[in-house]
């Protein structure tokens, strides 16, 4: 059972409804109303969330915003949630994956599924999956301490990346162009008390792309550039090449269907997969004429129809 503070309001002032009305003491019996219980897990309404609300509305479904930071889940109460569908609209982090697992345990269909969300949040698990599937990834060493990090840097060469094992906005990857910068990074990590595991990765050179996945299909490809302010910018790209299409298919084969982006570098040796993440930003694709919000709503509602059938026939499996 999920509870949300009754006074919960978003930073922009719009009201966020309780994620579960059971917790508020208002027992729901109208199972037919479940289809309208669609929540976008986001603290505030961005362009993408407005497009999603409109897309659901156009399909006769009222979706609402729910701030995940207001959610508290009692561990020992596996009561059914009355939220039919939850779309995670934030960065895929370990916390978000745990929330997806707990919501799924309560009977909510979560997009992305907890298993997929975990792979988006955990760089080491993601890379291991890619390696098992023989999908090209950058050469990577797992270093368990400062000394191991220095050695891995000198062995892999420059430019190099230090990647925290967990995706975390407050602890982004760091890039070093040469040995001096590399040693400065190691020293910086020590000062910050980050003496733990880090992924040391060869920084593959080439055009940075993202393949945008909705359902089990690549619905768009964009070039990713970092603006002078550090923010990412997305630009239209030529149609999907056969090599990229193959990479997309194989990654989707490992991550499963969902709504996410696959990060790829087009190197001189072909496409190399560098990561994956939740599809938080897609306004550039919408502007280019791809109805991403509509595709997401269609996918999520189709999943929900299947999910409800499984629940009714007792075939429900736990995602977490």
Helix (H, G, I), strand (E, B) or coil at 288: coil
Q: Which is nearer to its own copies, 20 or 51 (CB)?
A: 20
Taking the alpha carbons of 266, 267, 273, 274 in that order, is the dihedral positive or negative?
negative
Closest contact distance (angstroms) between CB of 268 and its own copies is: 19
d(CA 10, CA 14): 6
Residues in touch with its own copies (CB under 8 A): 3, 5, 8, 67-76, 93, 95, 98-99, 102, 124, 127-128, 131, 137, 139-149, 151-152, 155, 165, 170, 193, 195-197, 199-200
Q: Tell me whether residue 98 or residue 223 sits nearer to its own copies (CB atom).
A: 98
CB of 86 to its own copies, least distance (A): 12
Q: How far is the CB of 127 from its own copies (least distance, A)?
A: 6
Contact residues for 278 (Cβ-Cβ < 8 A; gap 6+): 88, 89, 90, 91, 92, 96, 112, 117, 120, 259, 260, 261
Q: What is the C-alpha to C-alpha distance for residues 32 and 26, in angstroms, rounded to an integer?
A: 16
Round to whole Å and give the CA distance between 2 and 303: 21
Based on CB atoms, which residue is closest to its own copies, 155 or 235?
Answer: 155
CA–CA–CA angle 93, 153, 274 (5° rounding):
40
The nearest distance, CB 4 to its own copies, in angstroms, is: 8
Q: How far is the CB of 66 from its own copies (least distance, A)?
A: 11
SS3 168: coil
Query: 29: burial class by Cβ within 10 Å (0-12, 13-18, 19+)?
Result: exposed
User: Which of residues 123 and 307 has its CB atom nearest to its own copies in the complex?
Assistant: 123
Minimum CB distance to its own copies smaller for 142 or for 224: 142
Q: In this complex, which beta carbon is closest to its own copies, that of residue 126 or of residue 234? A: 126
Distance, in Å, from the CA atom of 240 to the CA atom of 247, rounded to the nearest integer, reads: 11
- Residue 16 CB, shortest distance to its own copies, in Å, is 10
């Amino acid at each position: 059972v999920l509870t949300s503070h009754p006074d919960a309001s978003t930073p922009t002032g719009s009201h966020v409804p309780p994620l579960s009305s059971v917790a508020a003491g208002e027992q729901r019996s109208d199972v037919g109303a479940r289809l309208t219980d669609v929540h976008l897990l986001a603290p505030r309404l961005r362009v993408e969330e407005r497009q999603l609300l409109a897309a659901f509305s156009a399909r006769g479904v009222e979706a609402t915003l729910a701030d995940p930071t207001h959610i508290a889940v009692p561990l020992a109460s596996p009561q059914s949630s009355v939220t039919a569908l939850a779309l995670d609209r934030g960065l895929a982090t370990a916390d978000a994956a745990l929330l997806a697992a707990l919501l799924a345990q309560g009977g909510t269909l979560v997009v992305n599924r907890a298993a997929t969300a975990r792979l988006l949040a955990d760089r080491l698990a993601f890379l291991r999956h890619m390696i098992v599937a023989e999908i090209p990834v950058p050469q990577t060493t797992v270093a368990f301490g400062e000394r191991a990090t220095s050695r891995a840097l000198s062995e892999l060469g420059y430019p190099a990346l230090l990647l925290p094992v967990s995706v975390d906005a407050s602890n982004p990857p760091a890039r070093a162009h040469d040995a001096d910068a590399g040693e400065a990074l190691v020293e910086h990590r020590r000062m910050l008390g980050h003496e733990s595991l880090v992924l040391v990765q060869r920084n593959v050179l080439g055009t940075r792309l993202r393949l945008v996945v909705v359902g089990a299909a690549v619905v768009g490809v964009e070039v990713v550039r970092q603006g002078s302010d550090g923010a990412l910018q997305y630009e239209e790209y030529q149609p999907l090449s056969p090599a990229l299409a193959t990479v997309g298919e194989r990654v989707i084969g490992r991550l499963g269907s969902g709504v996410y982006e696959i990060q790829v570098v087009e190197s001189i040796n072909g496409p190399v997969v560098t990561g994956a993440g939740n599809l938080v930003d897609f306004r550039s694709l919408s502007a280019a004429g791809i109805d991403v919000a509509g595709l997401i709503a269609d996918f999520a509602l189709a999943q929900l129809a299947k999910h409800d059938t499984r629940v009714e026939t007792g075939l429900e499996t736990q995602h977490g």
